[in-house]
Chains A and B, each alone.
Chain A
Amino acid sequence: MNALSQTTSGTKAVKAAVLLIFALLLFAPFLFQDVRALEVAARVCVFIVLVASYDLLIGYTGIVSFAHTMFFGFGAYGAAISLKQMGPGWDAVVVGALAGMGVSLIVAVAIGLLSLRVKAIFFAMITLATASVALVLASQLSDFTGGEDGITYRAPALFKTATKLMLDENGKVLRVFGVKINGKLAAYYFVFFSCLALFVVMLRMVGSPLGTVLKAIRENEARAEAIGYRVVSYRTFVFCIAALVASLAGTIYAIWLKYTGPDTALSFAIMIDILLMVVIGGMGTMWGAVIGATMLVLAQYYLRDLMGAAAKATVDIPILPHVLDPDRWLFWLGIIFILLVYFFPKGIAGTVMAKGAPR
């Protein structure tokens, strides 16, 4: 009776990789003791949740939406505006999170009910249009949103770098393995555990009977309807859940960054990142989101460094240093992406998990 969780050698490999990423993120502040690494780790956490919630749509249910960043932005701007207006307190965080979720839910229900009945391509276009409107609004309502400059604000006092969570015998901030137990650390673990909780909720969801219905809708919408599932309701529901999770991810990221602007929360560049992550990682498996988000964020932050080192190492060889110049990192990212899609047509997790599976 092991039908529902068929384990192949590939599945084990993917789960091991995910476990490794989990461990690295859990101990990130102690393993990588520099500011940039912690920024990367926090971004990985947030994007895992964002990509996993998008995968609920595109990978599990087969809904193509381009409005996912918009919901992320609602959550981020909700927290940003309330933290700016109400001052850095937990009440502002709660108000901001709820406001973001409220707006997300209303917009998601509206989009869902109006357009989930239409063909997939029209639905995708409608989400694209809605997201464009949101982007324009964010830049036009500058009194409220800070326009193109965005909003800078302070996070709750607990997350200030100067906050000492534990003191040693001299009254200075306690260090564990050389890491200061300060507000920055608290902020990171706030991000980590919030994201972990959201991820676990989604994992439970896809493992529930509802998760199978979503996959059934992806596989054969007409038959799902014929055996008694109201497809429109299920689609609207999952669209709302994905929107709410994306909104919360936005709130979490806004609290971490202490800055929210179009580039960090609303731009189409983020939407493209999400799409790349879900494709690279593998659609229709939560593990794919973990792998895809981790790999792309790492590449975005460290490919340039890597290329800089490579260019230096090859300085004596003609042409090569120019090809490997850090300025060309996007070119190389593109090549890596093409190779990944070529060798892992179902994404890394999807392709690896298929190994050893019954065909």
Chain B
Amino acid sequence: MTVQPSLETRDLKIRFGGHVAVNAVSCAFHPGELTVIVGPNGAGKTTYFNLISGQLAASQGQVIKSGTDLTRMSPSARAQRGIGRAFQLTNLFPQLSVLENIRLAVQARSGDGWRILRQVAGLTDLAEQAEHYLEAAKLSGVAHLPAAALPHGDQRKLEVALLMAMEPDIYMFDEPTAGMSLDHAPDVLDLIAGIKKDTSKTVLLVEHKMDVVRSLADRIIVLHNGELLADGAPDTVMSSDIVRDVYLGKSAVPA
């Protein structure tokens, strides 16, 4: 491809003592593309995400977004530059209301965090934007509850809504439907499908459920023992022997 990638990792590596969790992963991602990252437990998928969004510092290699080197930046600086990340384990502001959770993401993007002279109650534009994401995530009914009071499925939705409210260029979802019941998971998947329609956005998705992978993926990459094992169109990757061996062979995934 001749287009500049929206996100690129070059030779990205992290060592925890003697263990190399992500080993020299070089990969480029492009706008309008949804890449699913698969791999068995412990393959380094979440660690790879942490390196991109900045929760972990790389031992070696680079993270580059649209030509800008992010490798030495803090997570907040990366977020400000359009890297958005949702977490595998629900990671919210538990005692704040659902609406406040979303508003935090909205005002982080708009730079209102330092506004000290205006009262929240008077900033209706912030509230309106937050309401918009609440509606999208079907959470309007619980807007005033503390996040901790929500059932697990709603917390997952809030996690996704927080990411959407950041309006990043790069969306990173880490098993967004983990632990969700079958009737709730489609809500989250619809949201992701909606993001995918916007061709200026790049989506990275860690997911185990094969039906989800098939319905959403434009491309699949396989991580195994921290190394990039395969990369390509879903059909090609899923049917390759190497993937079957390390991944499909081991975990009981229904075909």
Interface residues, chain A, CB within 8 Å of chain B? 1-6, 204-205, 207-213, 215-216, 219-220, 222-231, 234, 358-359
With a CB–CB cut-off of 8 A, which chain A residues contact B116? 204-205, 208-210
B145 and A358 within 8 A (CB) = yes
With A209-B107, A210-B113, A226-B79 already in contact, 11 other A-B pairs whose C-beta atoms are closer than 8 Å: A4-B120, A204-B117, A205-B116, A209-B116, A210-B114, A216-B104, A224-B93, A226-B53, A227-B104, A228-B166, A229-B108
Choose from B75, B105, B121 the contact partner of A225 (Cβ within 8 Å): B75
Choose from A205, A213, A226, A358 the contact partner of B113 (Cβ within 8 Å): A213
Query: A223 vs B54: C-alpha distance in the bound complex, in angstroms?
Result: 12
With a CB–CB cut-off of 8 A, which chain B residues contact A2? 144
Q: With contacts A3-B97, A212-B107, A358-B145 known, is A225 near B74, CB below 8 A?
A: yes
B96 and A219 within 8 A (CB) = yes
A31 CB to closest chain B CB, in angstroms?
A: 32
B93 and A358 within 8 A (CB) = no
A207 and B120 within 8 A (CB) = yes
A208 and B120 within 8 A (CB) = yes
With a CB–CB cut-off of 8 A, which chain A residues contact B108? 227-229
Q: Is B146 an interface residue (CB 8 A)?
A: yes
How many B residues face the partner with a CB closer than 8 A?
46
A227 and B162 within 8 A (CB) = yes
Q: Is B99 an interface residue (CB 8 A)?
A: yes
Choose from A211, A223, A358 the contact partner of B146 (Cβ within 8 Å): A358
Smallest CB gap from B131: residue in A: A1
Interface residues, chain B, CB within 8 Å of chain A? 53-55, 74-77, 79-80, 85, 87, 91-97, 99-100, 103-105, 107-109, 112-121, 123, 126-127, 143-146, 149, 162, 166
Q: With contacts A3-B144, A228-B109, A229-B113 known, is A209 near B96, CB below 8 A?
A: no
Choose from A209, A230, A231 the contact partner of B115 (Cβ within 8 Å): A209
Choose from B97, B113, B162 the contact partner of A234 (Cβ within 8 Å): B113
B79 and A223 within 8 A (CB) = no
The number of inter-chain residue pairs (CB within 8 angstroms) is 118
A346 CB to closest chain B CB, in angstroms?
A: 11
Query: A227 vs B161: C-alpha distance in the bound complex, in angstroms?
Result: 12
Interface SS of A by simple majority = helix
B112 and A209 within 8 A (CB) = yes
A219 and B93 within 8 A (CB) = yes
B115 and A210 within 8 A (CB) = yes
A225 and B112 within 8 A (CB) = no
With a CB–CB cut-off of 8 A, which chain A residues contact B109? 228
With a CB–CB cut-off of 8 A, which chain B residues contact A230? 74, 76-77
Q: Which 9 A-B pairs have the closest CB atoms?
A: A228-B79, A228-B108, A219-B93, A3-B99, A209-B112, A225-B75, A230-B76, A209-B115, A207-B119
Q: With contacts A6-B97, A210-B115, A358-B145 known, is A226 near B120, CB below 8 A?
A: no
28 contacts between A and B (CB under 8 A): A1-B127, A3-B127, A3-B143, A5-B121, A204-B117, A204-B119, A205-B116, A207-B119, A209-B103, A209-B116, A211-B120, A212-B96, A212-B100, A212-B104, A219-B95, A220-B92, A222-B91, A224-B104, A225-B76, A226-B87, A226-B91, A227-B104, A227-B105, A228-B79, A228-B166, A234-B113, A358-B146, A359-B146
Query: A6 vs B115: C-alpha distance in the bound complex, in angstroms?
Result: 22
B119 and A212 within 8 A (CB) = no
A227 and B115 within 8 A (CB) = no
Greatest chain B CB density within 10 A among A4, A219, A228, A231 is at: A228
B158 CB to closest chain A CB, in angstroms?
A: 12
A359 and B149 within 8 A (CB) = yes
Query: A358 vs B149: C-alpha distance in the bound complex, in angstroms?
Result: 8
Q: With contacts A220-B93, A226-B75 known, is A208 near B117, CB below 8 A?
A: yes
With a CB–CB cut-off of 8 A, which chain A residues contact B162? 227
Query: A269 vs B93: C-alpha distance in the bound complex, in angstroms?
Result: 35
With a CB–CB cut-off of 8 A, which chain B residues contact A219? 93-96
A148 CB to closest chain B CB, in angstroms?
A: 40
Query: A136 vs B87: C-alpha distance in the bound complex, in angstroms?
Result: 48
Query: A2 vs B97: C-alpha distance in the bound complex, in angstroms?
Result: 12
A227 and B144 within 8 A (CB) = no
Query: A208 vs B80: C-alpha distance in the bound complex, in angstroms?
Result: 21
Query: A293 vs B80: C-alpha distance in the bound complex, in angstroms?
Result: 41
A36 CB to closest chain B CB, in angstroms?
A: 39
Smallest CB gap from A234: residue in B: B113
Query: A145 vs B120: C-alpha distance in the bound complex, in angstroms?
Result: 44
Query: A213 vs B109: C-alpha distance in the bound complex, in angstroms?
Result: 13
With a CB–CB cut-off of 8 A, which chain A residues contact B120? 4, 207-209, 211-212
Smallest CB gap from B85: residue in A: A226
B100 and A208 within 8 A (CB) = no
Query: A210 vs B113: C-alpha distance in the bound complex, in angstroms?
Result: 5
A60 CB to closest chain B CB, in angstroms?
A: 12
Greatest chain B CB density within 10 A among A3, A209, A213, A224 is at: A209
B227 CB to closest chain A CB, in angstroms?
A: 26
With a CB–CB cut-off of 8 A, which chain A residues contact B55? 222, 226
B197 CB to closest chain A CB, in angstroms?
A: 23
With a CB–CB cut-off of 8 A, which chain B residues contact A223? 87, 91-93
B127 and A4 within 8 A (CB) = yes
Query: A223 vs B130: C-alpha distance in the bound complex, in angstroms?
Result: 18
Query: A5 vs B96: C-alpha distance in the bound complex, in angstroms?
Result: 12
Smallest CB gap from B121: residue in A: A4
Greatest chain A CB density within 10 A among B97, B104, B126, B146 is at: B104
